Amino acid sequence: MKRTTTLLIMVILMVVTFKANAQNSGFDQLIKSSPADATKLIQNFAEPLFKGFGIGLNSGWNNTAKTKKFLHFDLRISANVAQVPASAQSFDVTRIGLSNHLQVDPASATNIAPTFGGNTNGATPLMDIKDNNGNKIGSFNMPGGVISYIPAPDIQLTIGVFKNTDLTIRTTPTVNIGSNGGSIGMIGFGIKHDIIQDFAGKAGKKLIPFDLALAVNYNRINYSKTLNVQPDNGTQPVPGNQSSDFSNQQIKGHFSGINVQAIISKKLLFFTPFLSVGYQSASTDFSVLGNYPVSSSSGYYATITDPVHINESSVNGLRADIGFQLNLAIFRIYASYSPGQYQSANAGIGFGF
C-alpha cells in the first residue's frame, strides 16, 4: 500500500512541475506576468495530464461481470497508463489568446511549446513580460515536456454485499509529504450489480452462458501544496499599493471521475475474459490561491489574489474496455485495454475469495 501511495503522489506532483523547476520553467515569472495569461499557459501545458489522469481515474474498476458472494472480497493494486497522442504534445503560444503583456521574444527559436506530454529536451519559447507601455520588464522560457505516458495507480477493495451486488472502495488517507511535496488524499466508491438473475432467476441463470452487470463508479483525489513566490530583488510596491503578506500562497487541485459501465464476461475455469462499454466523465479543478506580486513596470509590482483557476471537464464521452481476470486460488491477475484518442492500459494483482 505504501508503494502505491508513493506512486500516486508522484503523479500529482507532476501537476506542479512549474514550481518544482522554478528556475528553469519560469513559474514565478509566469505568475507575476498576468493572471489571465498564467491560466491560459498552465491550462494548455497541463491539458494532457488532466485528460490522461481523468482516464486513469475511470480505469481498472471491474474485470468481470460476475459478482461475489455475501462478504467475499478481493483486494487489488493496479496501475493505469494513458498515452498522450501526438496531436496533444505541443501548442502554439501565439494562438491561445495571450495578452500584450506576454509575448514571444523576437529572438526566440520557436513559438511552439511542448505540453506536459511533449518533448522533454527540445527548444521552448522565450517569453517576454511587458508593462502597459510595451516595455520589456522580464522574460522566461516555457518548460519542457515531462512524460508522454500518464500513470494513475490505485488500490481498491471489493466486497459482495447482497443480491448479486458488489461494493468497491478506493481510498488513500491524506498524506502530508512535506513543504516541498504538499499533501494528497483519495476517496472513491463503486457499485456493481449482476442483472442476469433479475430476469432469469437461479434456474435460468444456469442456462445463460455469460454474466452481465451494470456498474457505477466515482473517484476523487484532493491535492494541496504551499508556494513561495516573492517580489524580485530591488522591486517595491507601486505607489498607493501596500505590500501584502505573501505567506498564504498555495495550490489546490481536485480531480474527479465518474464511470458508468455495462460489463459482459464468461468464466472459463480460472480465466475470465470481459468486455465493457459505457460513459465516462472526468473534471479538473486546479487553482493557484493567495497573494502574489505581479510585475507592473520596471522596479515595481502590484499585488493580486488567487491568480489562476482552471475548472474544466477534461474527459466526456463513451468508453470501451476489453481484458481478463485470472483466478489462481486466492491470487488474482488483472489486465485491460481501452482504445480512444488517449489509449490506455491497466494491469494489477490482488487476492481474495
Where is pLDDT greater, at 240 or 66? 66
- Dist CA 248 CA 64 (whole Å): 47
Pairing, β 165-176 against β 136-141: unpaired
Q: In this structure, are residues 84 and 119 in contact, taking their beta carbons and an 8 Å threshold?
A: no
Which grid cell is 116? 506536459
Mean pLDDT of 59-75: 91
pLDDT at 33: 60
Q: In this structure, are residues 188 and 170 in contact, taking their beta carbons and an 8 Å threshold?
A: yes
DSSP category for residue 25: H
- Dist CA 5 CA 79 (whole Å): 11
Mean pLDDT of 83-95: 94
pLDDT at 5: 33
Residue 25's pLDDT band, with cuts at 50, 70 and 90, is very low
Pairing, β 236-237 against β 211-226: unpaired
Distance of CA 89 to the CA centre of its chain: 16
With 0.75 as the threshold, say if the pTM is over it. Answer: yes
Question: What pairs with residue 237 in β-bridges?
Answer: 301
DSSP category for residue 120: S
Residue 280's pLDDT band, with cuts at 50, 70 and 90, is very high
- Dist CA 80 CA 55 (whole Å): 9
How crowded is residue 84: how many other Cβ atoms within 10 Å of its Cβ? 24
pLDDT at 64: 93
Closest among 184, 251, 196, 332 to 42, alpha carbons compared: 251
Where is pLDDT greater, at 1 or 69? 69
The 136-141 sheet, strands edge to edge = 102-104, 126-130, 136-141
Phi and psi at 275, nearest 5°, equal: -140, 135
- Dist CA 31 CA 312 (whole Å): 20
- Dist CA 73 CA 56 (whole Å): 23
Which grid cell is 212? 452481465
Phi and psi at 248, nearest 5°, equal: -100, 20
